[in-house]
Amino acid sequence: MSKANIIVDLEQRGMIQDTTDRDALADRLSSGPITLYHGIDPSASSLHIGNFIGILMLRKFQEAGHKPIVLIGGSTGMIGDPGGRSEERNLLDEETLGENIEGIRLQLENLVDLEGAELVNNYEWTKEVNVLEFLRDVGKHATVNQMVAKDSVRSRMEGKHGISYTEFSYMLLQAFDYWWLHNQRSCELQIGGSDQWGNISQGVDLIRRRNGDTVHGLTWPLITRSDGQKYGKSVDGAIWLDPNLTLPYEFHQYWLRVDDRDVRRFLMQLTLMSLEEIEAVVAEHEKSPESRYGQQRIADEITTLVHGQKAVSKSKLAADALFGTGELTPDMLMALEGIVPETPVERAILGGEEALIDLLVRSELTASKSEARRLLKQGGVSVNREKRSSSQIDAAGLIGDRFLLIQKGKKQRNLIIVED
C-alpha cells in the first residue's frame, strides 16, 4: 500500500470517523513519510479489543511507510479520560501504573514492529512541569467555552455524577502531549477512537496557536457490542489480549459467535486481509451463513494477530475435543489445558470395581460416591464422549494411554490425567 493510498483504504474499510482536514491530510501523506501517534492509558495490566483497533491502525500506517509512536499515558493514566464514561475513574498509584505499563509493553511487542516504531511514556516529560508553567503555556490557549463544548465533557456535566476538575483537565494534558511530540519528534498526526475527537482537536488547536503549524487528527468509529456499549476494560464482557485474562481459546470462540451482520465490518476493521480477500470471504459466507465461514475467518485472523498461529490450532483442537463427534486424540485433550479442570491420578486407580465412581469423586464432579452411583444409574455420565452405565474402567479406555475426558450432564467436564 502506498503512503497516500492508506486514506482511501481506511475509508473503504469504514475506519475513518472524523478528520481535521481530509484532503490536507491525504496531501501530506502523499508527500512523504509522516510521524503519527496513538495514546493508551495504562488503567489495566492488559490491552483489550477496544485498544486493538488503535494498534492495528498504527501497524497499517507503519506498513504504508510511516513512523508510528505508541504513547503510554503514565501521567494521564493517573487522571483518567472522561470520554465514554458516566462516572469518574478510580485513580491509580505509581506502582500499579508501572506494572500496567510493563504488561502493555510486552503485548505491544507482539503487535507492532517496535524496531521501526517508538514507545514513549508521557510521564517522562510531564513530571517536571509545574502548575504555573502549564497554565501559562497550555491553559492560556484553551477557553473554558471551547472545552465544555466537547462531547466528552458536556455529557459528563449533564450526568448525575458531574465531572471533577481533575478529569476536566485531561484534554489539556493530552493536548500538551501532542504539542511535545510535535516539537521533539516532528509528529504531525494523532489518531484515536471517535470518543477522543475532542482531545485530539484540542491538541491540533494548541499547536496552531503556540507554533503556527498545521497538524492533523483522525479518528475511527468505536467497536460496539450488540447492546451499543463500546468494548473496554471497565464494562462487563471485556475481551482482553492478555492470555492469562482471556484464554486464547475463549478469545477464538468469542469471534465465532459474531452476528452475521457484523462479519463484513469486523473483517474490514479488525484484520489485515486485503479488500479483495474480504469480499471473497463475504461472498462465500453469504452462500451458506449457517456454516459460519465468515466467523471462522474472523476468529482465525484476529487470534493469529494477537496470540499466533499455534494458539489458533490449539483452540480448534480444544473445540473439537469439547464439541466434535469424531474420535478423540491425545492432541485434542492436551489442548484442553487451562480450559477444562484437570485431575491427576495414579494408574492403580484403574481396574477397580468402582474406578469410575472414584474418579467422579476425585475430580469433584460429584460430592460423594452415592451421588456418583445415582448419576451413573440415571445415564448422566459420559467418558470420552460415550455414555456409561458401568462403574468399571480400565487402562484400555485411556486416550494415548494417559487421558480420560469425563463429562457430567451437558456442560461439566474434567480431564483425568493418569500419572505413572
Q: What is the pLDDT of residues 103-159, one digit of tens each?
A: 898 888 888 888 889 999 999 999 889 989 988 888 888 877 777 776 767 777 777
At 229 the pLDDT is: 63
Among the four given CATH numbers 3.40.50.620, 3.20.20.70, 2.40.50.140, 1.20.120.1080, the one describing domain 5-220: 3.40.50.620
From-to residues of CATH 3.10.290.10 in the chain: 342-419
Residue 312 Cα distances to 260, 298, 306, angstroms = 21, 11, 10
Query: Quick one: pLDDT band at residue 88, thresholds 50, 70, 90?
Result: very low
Q: Which residues contact 151 (CB under 8 A, 6 or more apart)?
A: 83, 195, 197, 198
- Strands, DSSP E only, in 118-164? 118-121
pLDDT tens per residue, range 163-187: 777 777 888 999 999 999 999 999 9
How many residues can be counted in the chain? 420
From-to residues of CATH 1.10.240.10 in the chain: 248-334
Q: What is the DSSP letter of 227?
A: T
How would you classify residue 228: left for phi > 0, otherwise alpha for psi between -120 and 50, otherwise beta? left
Among the four given CATH numbers 3.40.50.720, 3.10.290.10, 3.40.47.10, 3.40.50.300, the one describing domain 342-419: 3.10.290.10
Query: Quick one: pLDDT band at residue 316, thresholds 50, 70, 90?
Result: very high
Integer Cα distance of 45 and 80 in angstroms: 15
N-term to C-term CA, the chain: 57
The fraction of the chain above a pLDDT of 70, given in percent, is: 92
At 86 the pLDDT is: 43
At 233 the pLDDT is: 44
At 2 the pLDDT is: 54
- Which residue is associated with the grid cell 463429562? 407
- Nine-digit cell string for 363: 475430580
How would you classify residue 376: left for phi > 0, otherwise alpha for psi between -120 and 50, otherwise beta? alpha
From-to residues of CATH 3.40.50.620 in the chain: 5-220
Q: Domain 248-334 falls in which CATH fold? A: Tyrosyl-Transfer RNA Synthetase (1.10.240)
- Which residue is associated with the grid cell 468494548? 231
Query: Quick one: pLDDT band at residue 8, thresholds 50, 70, 90?
Result: very high
User: Is residue 216 over pLDDT 70?
Assistant: yes
Query: Quick one: pLDDT band at residue 200, thresholds 50, 70, 90?
Result: very high
Integer Cα distance of 225 and 219 in angstroms: 19
How would you classify residue 121: left for phi > 0, otherwise alpha for psi between -120 and 50, otherwise beta? beta
At 101 the pLDDT is: 86
Taking Cα atoms as reference points, which of 58, 180, 194, 199 lies closest to residue 129? 180
